[in-house]
Amino acid sequence: MTSKELYSKGARVWIPHPSLVWQGGEVVEDYTKGNLKVKTDSGEVSTLSITSNENLPPLRNPDILIGENNLTSLSYLHEPAVLYNLQFRFCTQNNIYTYCGIVLVAINPYTDLPIYNSETILEYRGKSMGELDPHIFAVAEEAYTKMEREQRDQSIIVSGESGAGKTVSAKYAMRYFATVGGSATETHIEKKILASSPIMEAIGNAKTTRNDNSSRFGKFIKLHFNKNNNIIGASMRTYLLEKSRVVFQAPEERNYHILYQLCAARNMYPSLLLENAKSYKYLCQEASIPGVDDLKCFQDTLTALQILGFSELNITNVFKVFASILHLGNIEIVESSGHGETDSSFIQENDPHLVTFTELLQLDAAKLRKSLCFRWINSMKECVEKPLTVIEAKGARDALSKHIYAILFYWIVEGINKSLESSSDAKHKFIGVLDIYGFETFDINSFEQFCINYANEKLQQQFNQHVFKLEQEEYLKEEIEWIFIDFYDNQPCIDLIETKLGILDLLDEECRMPKGTDITWAGKLYEKCNKWQHFEKPRFGSQHAFVIKHFADRVEYEVVGFLDKNRDTVMIDQVWALEHSGNELIRKLFSEDYARHLSVTMATPTIGPTLRKRKTVGSQFRDSLNALMATLNETTPHYIRCIKPNDNKLAFDYDAHRAVQQLRACGVLETIRLSAQGFPSSS
């Protein structure tokens, strides 16, 4: 049909709107070249200036298609059609799931729904995609069936910003596999897999302004299946724990759940000498979450640790170590005026939190106290003891707190993996479930956001390669009539970050410089990276920042703190004090053998003098990301895009502006654009 026929009087169209994003309208006069008169649903009449057919407003779908459960079934595929269909399904029908070809779009309802019970799992078992309403169980069933039929590893990639529901989606997928992959001979493994969730949420999740249960680490869980397609084991790999949260949280945010749980359970463990959460500097921002009982959550965590086979001694030691971090943060460090030193720090011998910290971890109090206020400097001729200023000592104390928390986190993950590992040495098929940070941009963005957004660039590239590049090439190979369609390729942005003389390389180089600083590094970025299309020096505001034009958004990063976070060092004096602990767990965690083991398997902090021999956090993260991508590329992937419908955590409330931001950022609208040009949906 011609444009004149399509845009005749009575045709229904979409018009851009400042608050609704798009508003419905109706053509009130037949289209004549150059002008189109439209009346909006709110009653306003306006004449649109049309310079070319590309400027004509998008056409609305017929009413019979409103609420379609697969976006690719719509007659007109474009942004307003997607937004309206998702909004109608979500707000009017209370359907949180919608297909977009091979992608499942999941909108967080911010309320519990009765659609995840055992009966629902059985309904989806054996059904093909599309037979029943869209559901995460349908995606899980598709992955399980493909593994059965094709004998090929599968992966479910769950993405979305904080608060969009990624962790819950991953948890329901695992519940599905634990149910359909269960067997009479492996009665405990399913329980153990499900028990890993409350533990990981306790030690790795926290309340943020965007999400009351935000995962502050990424994880890739492999569920292993035998030749009969029964679950026989599992393994978990974690990525980029947010260690800075241990010592600092933004207003209205919390530290990790486990620390509040322990304070709530203090009467069960009086030897920890804990008080209420508000008594601790590391927990002083926000004490509670509405509707969450920290004591009940502690009981769930404790039960899960027992199910996974942690001994009572190890459980007690774990709680001692977590509690000791709270006491460490409360140790008073003051100027040593009157104690024989100037411009140096001092801790009272009888500081109650110092006493409790050293008793819990069975440490030499004098050595620990000294290690917090002094450091050894190696010179050409001798070792010199240098007093730390109060600011330096507090920074060293906080670095130690982060180090203790992180190393215990990794040890617990290892314990979970040992409990879940298969007893068989044979190679098994697996289904992997990836739950990792979504794209982040805040008022102030630092090293953590840089790494998170780098990971999302890699994941978006994986999505592009699977959905766009590989499929298009397959049609040409099979000589199916096909026209190549342009899509956004983010390889140049990834190159900016990870190639030689890219951002990570220059950061590592500056970390090796004895006098390297965040500011000198920024200068080198401006000099070396200005040739990259995706790099900018801020035009206004901070001159100690840089901008990356990511696939999702333009993000400005403050350079202050990048070098320290990339080095992630802890003072060797403090490590020596902990190495000689009378507590078996602490002694093991700080032994040289365990440090070597973790440096191979995890991104762990560096001990001062060995900096040149260790990889930085950024380079370790790059290597682990590349290994993850290699694993995903060997699987058949399935995609779940989680959408956060509003910022106020309101049930079934839909903010079109927030939704469209996320749909653009996660590639759903790009998928729709290609579908509109003839790109078929896969099954």
129-140 pLDDT, tens digit each: 999 999 999 999
Would you mind telling me the total number of residues written for the chain in this entry?
683
Q: Residue 638 contacts by C-beta under 8 Å, 6 or more apart in sequence?
A: 102, 104, 139, 142, 143, 154, 155, 156, 157
Residue 382 has pLDDT above 80, yes or no: no
Contacts 24+ apart (CB under 8 A), 40-46: 40/15
Share above pLDDT 90 across residues of the chain, in percent, rounded to a whole number: 71
In a domain, 229, yes or no: yes
Rounded-to-integer distance, Cα 679 and Cα 674, Å:
5
In a domain, 72, yes or no: no
Q: Are residues 101 and 196 in the same domain?
A: yes
Phi and psi dihedrals of 312, rounded to 5? -60, -35
Sorting pLDDT into bands at 50, 70 and 90, what band is 340?
low
Q: Are residues 473 and 439 in the same domain?
A: no
In a domain, 253, yes or no: yes
Domain boundary among 278, 301, 320: 320
The mean pLDDT value for 425-439 works out to: 88
- pLDDT per position as a tens digit, 467-488: 776 667 666 777 766 666 666 7
Q: Are residues 104 and 15 in the same domain?
A: no
Domain boundary among 559, 591, 612: 559
> In the predicted model, what is the mean pLDDT of the chain?
90
In a domain, 656, yes or no: no
Q: Tell whether the torsion through CA atoms of 111, 113, 117 and 123 is positive or negative.
A: negative
Q: Are residues 29 and 114 in the same domain?
A: no
Rounded-to-integer distance, Cα 451 and Cα 561, Å:
14
Beta strands in 496-604 (DSSP E): 535-536, 545-549, 554-558, 569-570
The answer to whether 163 is a known ligand-binding residue is: yes
Residue 354 has pLDDT above 90, yes or no: yes
Which CATH number covers residue 28? 2.30.30.140
CA distances 131 to 139, 297, 611, Å, are: 12, 38, 57
In a domain, 129, yes or no: yes
Helix/strand/coil percent split, the chain, to 5 = 45, 15, 40
Question: Is 371:576 a contact under the CB 8 Å cutoff?
Answer: yes
Write out the catalytic residue numbers.
Answer: 162-163, 167, 211, 214-215, 438, 440
Which CATH number covers residue 539? 1.20.58.530
The mean pLDDT value for 676-680 works out to: 54
The answer to whether 218 is a known ligand-binding residue is: no
Domain count across the chain: 4
Question: Is 203:258 a contact under the CB 8 Å cutoff?
Answer: yes
Q: Which of 359-373, 380-394, 558-572 has the lowest mean pLDDT?
A: 380-394
In a domain, 199, yes or no: yes
Sorting pLDDT into bands at 50, 70 and 90, what band is 629?
very high
Q: Are residues 115 and 155 in the same domain?
A: yes
- pLDDT per position as a tens digit, 78-104: 999 999 999 999 999 999 999 998 899
Sorting pLDDT into bands at 50, 70 and 90, what band is 553?
confident
287: containing domain: 245-320
In a domain, 581, yes or no: no
Which pLDDT value is given to residue 636?
95
Which CATH number covers residue 238? 3.40.850.10
Q: Are residues 296 and 201 in the same domain?
A: no
Residue 679 has pLDDT above 60, yes or no: no
The answer to whether 415 is a known ligand-binding residue is: no
The mean pLDDT value for 370-380 works out to: 82
Q: Are residues 239 and 102 in the same domain?
A: yes
Which pLDDT value is given to residue 596?
74
Residue 492 has pLDDT above 80, yes or no: yes
Residue 457 has pLDDT above 50, yes or no: yes
Which pLDDT value is given to residue 495?
97
Q: Closest Cα to residue 249, out of 223, 273, 280, 226?
A: 280
The mean pLDDT value for 511-522 works out to: 94
Q: Are residues 183 and 250 in the same domain?
A: no
Domain boundary among 543, 559, 575: 559
Q: Are residues 142 and 51 in the same domain?
A: no
The mean pLDDT value for 157-169 works out to: 92
Hey, what are 211's tokens?
A: 């999400």
Q: Are residues 180 and 270 in the same domain?
A: no
Which CATH number covers residue 250? 1.10.10.820
Which pLDDT value is given to residue 558?
96
Q: Which residue has the higher pLDDT, 147 or 603?
A: 147
- pLDDT per position as a tens digit, 190-226: 899 999 999 999 999 999 888 899 999 999 999 999 9
In a domain, 574, yes or no: no
The answer to whether 44 is a known ligand-binding residue is: no
Which pLDDT value is given to residue 572?
81
The answer to whether 190 is a known ligand-binding residue is: no
Q: Are residues 12 and 109 in the same domain?
A: no
Which pLDDT value is given to residue 665?
78
Q: Closest Cα to residue 233, out of 242, 222, 243?
A: 222
- pLDDT per position as a tens digit, 18-74: 989 999 999 999 998 889 999 999 999 999 999 888 889 999 999 999 999 999 899
Residue 607 has pLDDT above 60, yes or no: no
Instruction: Classify strands 569-570 and 606-607 as parallel, antiparallel or unpaired.
Output: parallel
Q: Are residues 46 and 149 in the same domain?
A: no
Residue 6 has pLDDT above 50, yes or no: yes
The answer to whether 517 is a known ligand-binding residue is: no
